[in-house]
Amino acid sequence: MDVKHPPRSRYQPCPPGLYLTHGVSTRHHAATTTLNKPWVLHAEKSIGPAFASSVESDTVEAFERFEINCRFGRAIDAQRLVLHLWGLPDSDALLHRNLAALPRLLDIADRYGLTLSIETLLCQVSTPLDVV
């Protein structure tokens, strides 16, 4: 579903494609739905790969987007947040940079009451176990 970005003044920031107006209670909606919990939220796939960048502003933005995803997860009472910690274009070539972000990512997720889960992806250079 392609959603246009609405004006910031009327909307809270959420992951792309998900926008909450100030009058909408996502927590109420989550509590009244018939879906079973625990809920698992997948973070934006572009967050993890941004940590491989050597450009500091990319990393800063990735942490900001991760926190927005965590806020959204908390708003819908999710218990777990899944993150693709690495991905294209660098895949695992610079995995040490992605792993360096992990302690801070864990702290942010913990602040929002979420358990962070790393989804494994295909590697081009090695395997995650070789690097860790």
Cα 78 to Cα 74: distance, rounded to the nearest angstrom: 6
Amino acid making up residue 32: T
Residue ranges in the chain modelled with pLDDT below 50: 1-28
71: CB partners within 8 A, 6+ apart: 14, 112
Asked if residues 59 and 51 have their Cβ atoms less than 8 Å apart, the reply is yes
Q: What is the pTM of this model?
A: 0.71
Maximum separation of any 2 CA atoms in the chain, in Å? 49
Average pLDDT, the chain: 78
Beta bridge partners of 81: 41, 116
pLDDT digits (tens, 9 = 90+) for 98-132: 999 999 999 999 999 999 999 877 788 887 777 66
Q: What is the pLDDT of residue 93?
A: 86
